[in-house]
Amino acid sequence: MIDVNNVSLIIKKTEILKKINIEFEKGKIHGLIGRNGSGKTMLMKCICGFIKPTEGTIFVSDKQIGKDCDFPESVGIIIETPGFIPYYSGYKNLKLLADLNKKINGEQIRETMKKVGLDPDLKRHVKKYSLGMRQRLGLAQAIMENPDTLILDEPMNGLDKDGVGDMRKYLLDLKKQGKTILIASHSAEDIEILCDTVCEMDKGKLKKIL
């Protein structure tokens, strides 16, 4: 599903990624671990087409990113803090995004919000959401068009204990549906419970440890 070949990234003479080679198999949850600054987020951004590698190639669903397509198709993404229009409700934010692709209707958006534990009828502006509510809204944004692949950078950030449990259950349900999930997390418990494979990043290098 995701094939990273000899990928390096240099920004302002600093080597961020160093000859990364890895395949992430379809239908599994793959974990990325490593300290802050190890390169996890940058690797995810390269896979999503947000940053072009200095060297190497990335294929998602057999299409080369930056050549066959600028961004991978059928991918839901949470990278860093999800950005929304602060003075709109959660539903209105998702409706604006959904209208760009016109793949889903309002009722499907409502059902997605309910799945992640949000009330689609809540009129509160996103700027008044808690961090956990923003994170749930970010997940709703990532999954609402039923993508084949999810790329999630610290998706549990800001969630309370119940929220973390809900998120884990939902991600495992998505795996059962055949989704491919790449998740970066600082939580050893999340990685142990969720992941079929685990890769560790350190100073831009990657090694598979499980």
Domain ranges of the chain: 1-74+150-210, 80-147
**Which pTM was predicted?**
0.91
What pLDDT, on the 0 to 100 scale, is given for residue 22? Answer: 94
Query: Considering only CA atoms, which of 12, 15, 22 is closest in space to residue 55?
Result: 15
C-alpha to C-alpha distances, 152 to 10, 41, 121, 143, 184, nearest whole angstrom: 23, 9, 26, 11, 6
Range 98-107 burial, b when 16+ CB lie within 10 A, else e: beeeeebeee
What pLDDT, on the 0 to 100 scale, is given for residue 157? Answer: 85
Entry field: residues in the chain: 210
Query: Considering only CA atoms, which of 18, 43, 141 is closest in space to residue 85?
Result: 141
How large is the angle between the packed helices 131-143 and 90-101, nearest 10 degrees?
20
Contact indicator for 152, 181 with CB cutoff of 8 Å = yes
Question: Does the pLDDT at position 81 exceed 80?
Answer: no
DSSP three-state, residue 93: helix
Give the pLDDT band (50/70/90) at residue 152: very high
For domain 1-74+150-210, the CATH class is alpha beta
